[in-house]
Structure 1
Amino acid sequence: MPSQPDTPEPDAPKFDPAACRNTLFGALLQAARTHGGGKEILEDIERQPMSYNRLILASLVLGGKLAAMSRRGEAVGVLLPNVAGLCAVIFGLNAYGRVPAMLNFSAGAKNLSSALTTGVISTVITSRRFIKTAGLEDVIAALEQTEGVAGKKTTIIYLEDVRKRIGVKDKVAGLVKSRLAASVHKRHGSGPDDPAVILFTSGTEGAPKGVVLSNANLVANAGQIFAHTKGRFTTEDVVLNPLPMFHSFGLTAGTLMPLLNGMKVVLYPSPLHYKEVPKLIGATQATIVFGTDSFAQGYARAGAPGDLDSVRYMVCGAEKVKDKTRKLWATTGTMLLEGYGATECAPVVACNTPDACKEGTVGPVLPGIELRVEPVPGINEGGQLFVKGPNVMCGYMFASAPGKIVPP
């Protein structure tokens, strides 16, 4: 069973708001300087580990090619599952000042077309292998006919085609740029308060609206989560993230938080593979897993004996953690940490920690966040929650005003 330290680490990291004044790619460069460029930091189901240096190089080479097909500040659609290449796309676009618009490939053609229009998106990056495996040919056909920009049908860019066009000169140029990555990013990139990603709501209340998160929002929340654990999350931990990055929980908590804080992250393309996820947990000896109550139950029920024994913390959000879920995980010695968040807050607002864990609650608020609850007529318990902090979004994009950011 995983061991649980009795007290917080004396040198536990503190949340520094000033450190949030960075971009995603800039924060990646800082993490490489802090933890060593050669440290293995990223892996997916192909089990080919990537170091910080390799991720930075891949991001610059791929980002350079994608930048030649788009404009600085442009929102570029990203339709990909959890693979290492997705991280290179996100950091690569950010390195050159483009804005990844993360598209929910399970949302259907109608909602995806609406998202393109709302975000004024004329280019979508995807993969032929993924489209074939997921059976999304009809969705791609619909997107190709969508005019995210008036009078311009959507251009679909396949990563396989981009990679074919990466020659020796590109790789050599990438090596040179990787040695001068900060200068390259300073010349081509965006600023801390500029949009870093656009995420889209499910569309259950009408046309999907975009949630625009800045670089500083994402860097802040990644830092807040790590500091919140008071040293219980360490650079020796291995994070398993099966949550898709078109949701903020999977993007920030499951991917950016570990990558920007020296923790290795292992990506899996679907949280619904209840037998395969536990197998990968066991194979990689993952110590921290992100998911929801439903997924946590599924892994505990379907996992073979020993698959989950390495897990110290199962971090759950989006659903209330049920008592039966805790009972299922009790035999592994894993501590379930329930939290609360909202996409608009990048997303984590509060979470239980190993030192302050109370079942039936979402735990203490993260550092750097202020909360206020105001009464709502007709509701006796609870009220309207107001959140203030460096992780709160730039604003919304509405279908009624495509491309315009409306502050909260």
Structure 2
Amino acid sequence: MSIRPWLASYPEEIPASLTYEEQPVQSYLTKTAQQYPNKTAIHFMGKELTFQEVYESSLKVGNYLRKLGVKKGDRVAIMLPNGPQAVISYFGVLYAGAVVVQTNPLYTEREIEYQMKDSGSIVIITLDVLYPRVRQVIKNTPLQHIIVTAVKDYLPFPKNIIYPFIQTKQTGLKVHVEERGTNHEFKRIIETEPAKEIDLPFHFDEDLALLQYTGGTTGFPKGVMLTHKNLIANTSMCAAWMYKCKKGEEVILGVLPFFHVYGMTAVMVLSVMQAYKMVLLPKFDVKTTLKAIEKQRPTLFPGAPTIYIALLNDPDLRKYDLSSIRSCLSGSAPLPAEVQQKFEKVTGGKLVEGYGLSETSPVTHANFLWDSERVKGSVGVPWPDTEAAILSLDTGEVLPPGEVGEVVVKGPQVMKGYWNRPEETEMTFKDGWLLTGDVGYMDENGYFFVVDRKKDMILAGGYNIYPREVEEVLYEHPSIQEAVVVGVPDAYRGETVKAYIVLKEGHSVTEEELNLFARAQLAAYKVPRIYEFRTELPKTAVGKILRRALIDEEKRKQEKTS
């Protein structure tokens, strides 16, 4: 793979290869605090923190963790929504020389217990309202300490007084955590700990910064081992790709959760590296997001298709000024062409699709934001220093342009492996290539097209059907807000195509109308035979539709009737 056709498409501002500073991820916070000490780093519900404040607070957390006995390489879990504490804790763990274990705040007790045991985390930093769940499982895990914070700790007056009452009303929980035994108060750490530098030995290629757990759609979640080199490489690539963005000047909307690798890299680490102001939202809510865009004027808005779809379908969309948005990189799921076009029309900015995996820190490909022709349906071209190819699903050989096979990648952002799973790590690599499990092809110009997950491909009557192709057609129907297609067992065809549909508010459509619409654009064997209308679809925290959950649901139905 010495030929890289995609390089011919690169704008002259993007180099084919980058130089990476051999330093830990947290050193970017140290440098940015030195260069921009008084610049706003975080805006959170009216409260603002400078880079100097974030830096000093992170050092305090790092020093406290060392005091608790955390050593280099130990794992520390962070179970927080987006907010100042999530950023401070992340860099605090790294300053302590430990490895961050990102934990979804929506996890059940069973899921928390599994992840703490699998990662071997000895400390967890979490919210007061999540504390009861952690407390229930601590005796079954290696956890020795719980550091507890509250949303109100970083709210301005009078929100800090009012919020606890709102929180109690919303959750039904009134939690007060006393600081004793294994419990520690985040607020007191910030108020009393020294902000002194911690000097530790460091190995750029080997030291882990993060254990990022995969979604577990194919079994138990696995801890992806990402090194400081992986994260610095991918964030540097991101900065190079967004070459028109000015250091110290951009404002980025942080609605993607930081416990997801995409939000962590493309919002949090990028902002610290480039001295951008982060406007943080603890969860995605359409009205809150629209108000934040109008008031805080973000220029960058990384997101997922479901986020853009929800905003576009808000009945009051036209009342808000979204013109500050210049650039959006969409990830986590396929971006329907119609959504891209509508969002660009509403904002006047650019929205392009990228591609990646937890195993690649996460981005490997993206479309160009500026100065390039659109290639419809493509996830773009490989980023600097990133190799990509298509391997035959039958022989494993590299395929020529236009032929469909498995997408494989190489690059400095590719993981070290899976935590404590050497056999699965070995199965995920072939001759140095990371096997993505995605099916796609490359055109003659080096643009890649992902047609589906290898495991999601539908085999009906001997035909290969890729759900994404069918979904793209359904998204073009004016009444459809969301659509997902799966293969369900069929006695005659082996599998048949089923579509789950969420309609736009105030719209209606019949199965017969959708059938006629699909038949006009798809070969007969690809047209859905079954339609199911729903008010919502199962999704991950970042908004990715859980196709696997629907497939499992169908299997359970079949088992009950058989």
Is the pair's TM-score, using the shorter chain for normalization, greater than 0.5? yes
Q: In 2, distance between residues paired with 1:254 and 1:52? A: 15
Map of 1:331 onto structure 2: 346
Q: Secondary structure at the match of 1:94?
A: helix
Q: Please tell me whether residue 296 in structure 1 is matched to residue 308 in structure 2.
A: yes
Per-residue CA deviation, residues 333-362 of structure 1 (Å, 9 max, x unaligned), is 121111101111100111112223433211
1:277 paired with 2:277, answer no
Distance 1:16 1:400 in 2: 30
Whether the aligned pair in 1 keeps the contact of 2:257 and 2:263 (CA below 8 Å) is: yes
Aligned residue for 2:210, secondary structure, equals: strand
Residue 267 (str. 1) matches residue 301 (str. 2) = no
Alpha-carbon deviation of 1:233?
5.7
- Which whole-Å CA distance do the structure 1 matches of 2:91 and 2:17 have between them? 22
Is 1:309–1:333's contact at 8 Å kept on the other side of the alignment?
yes
CA distance in 1, matches of 2:51, 2:201: 19
CA contact (8 A) 2:28 2:272 kept: no
Q: SS where residue 336 of structure 1 aligns?
A: strand
Q: Deviations over 1:197-230 (max 9, x none)?
A: 1111122222211011111111111110110123
What's 2:60 paired with?
61
**Counterpart of 2:353 in structure 1: which amino acid?**
E
SS at match of 2:301: strand
DSSP 3-state at the match of 2:319: coil
SS at match of 2:233: helix
Correspondence for 1:340 among 341, 351, 355: 355
Secondary structure of the structure 2 residue equivalent to 1:22: coil
Q: Distance in 2 between matches of 1:362 and 1:191?
A: 33
**For 1:396, which of 414, 418, 424 is the aligned residue?**
418
Mark the CA change 1:137 to 1:304 in structure 2 (over 3 Å): closer, same or farther. Answer: farther
Q: Give yes or no for the alignment of 1:362 onto 2:361.
A: no
* Residue number among 176, 200, 205 corresponding to 1:188 in the alignment: 200
- How many residue pairs get aligned? The number is 372
User: Match of 1:335, as an amino acid?
Assistant: K
Q: 1:4-403 alignment to 2 at 5 Å?
A: 17-33=18-34, 35-45=35-45, 47-69=46-68, 70-128=70-128, 131=129, 136=130, 139-147=133-141, 149=142, 155-159=145-149, 161-167=185-191, 170=193, 173-174=194-195, 177=196, 184-185=197-198, 187-188=199-200, 190-193=202-205, 194-232=207-245, 235-271=248-284, 273-302=285-314, 303=317, 305-329=319-343, 330-353=345-368, 354-356=370-372, 357-377=374-394, 381-398=403-420
Q: Which has the higher strand share?
A: 2
Q: Is the 8 A contact 1:111 1:203 kept in 2?
A: no
Q: 1:41: Cα distance to partner?
A: 2.2
Q: Which AA in structure 2 matches 1:146? A: N
**What CA deviation, in whole Å up to 9, does each residue of 1:29-51 have, x standing for no partner?**
23344x43222222222x32222
How far is 1:167 from its partner? 4.9
Alignment partners' CA distance in 2, 1:278 and 1:86: 23
Higher relative contact order (CA 8 A, sep 6+): 1
Deviations 1:87-125 (A, max 9, x none): 111111111201110011223222221111111113211
Kept after mapping to 2: 8 A contact 1:96/1:190 = no
Whole-Å Cα distance in 1 between the matches of residues 57 and 215 of structure 2?
A: 31
Once the two structures are superposed, residues 6-54 of structure 1 have per-residue CA deviations (whole angstroms, 9 ceiling, x without a partner) of xx999x5758744342111112223344x43222222222x32222222
Do the aligned residues in 1 keep the contact of 2:74 with 2:122 (CA within 8 Å)?
no
Which is further off, 242-251 or 377-386? 377-386
Q: Tell me, what secondary structure is at the counterpart of 1:269?
A: coil
CA distance in 2 between partners of 1:234 and 1:137 (Å): 38
Q: Percent of aligned positions with the same letter in both sequences? A: 25
Is the 1:67–1:93 contact (alpha carbons within 8 Å) kept by the matching residues of 2? no
**Could you tell me the TM-score, scaled by structure 2's length?**
0.61
Residue by residue, what CA displacement relative to the aligned partner does 1:361-396 show, whole Å, maximum 9, x if unpaired?
Answer: 112211121112211129994222222211111211
CA distance in structure 2 between the aligned counterparts of 1:217 and 1:374, rounded to whole angstroms: 24
Structure ID, larger Rg? 2
Quick one: which amino acid aligns to residue 146 of structure 2?
I
SS of structure 2 residue aligned to 1:188: coil
CA contact (8 A) 2:210 2:226 kept: yes
Any idea what SS the aligned residue of 2:237 has? helix
8 Å CA contact 1:202–1:208 kept in 2: the answer is yes
Instruction: Kindly provide the amino acid, as one letter, of the partner of residue 164 in structure 1.
Output: R
- Preserved CA contact (<8 Å) 1:118 1:399: no
Structure 2 letter corresponding to 1:224 = M
Task: Measure, in 2, the Cα distance between the counterparts of 1:261 and 1:211.
Answer: 26
| CA contact 1:278–1:304 (8 Å) conserved in 2 | no
Is the CA contact 2:60–2:189 (under 8 Å) kept in the aligned structure 1? no
Report which stretch shifted further, 293-302 or 355-364. Answer: 355-364
Q: TM-score, length-normalised on structure 1? A: 0.83
Which runs of 5 or more residues in structure 1 are unaligned?
1-7, 178-183
Question: Using the alignment, how far apart are the partners of 1:223 and 1:106 within structure 2?
Answer: 31
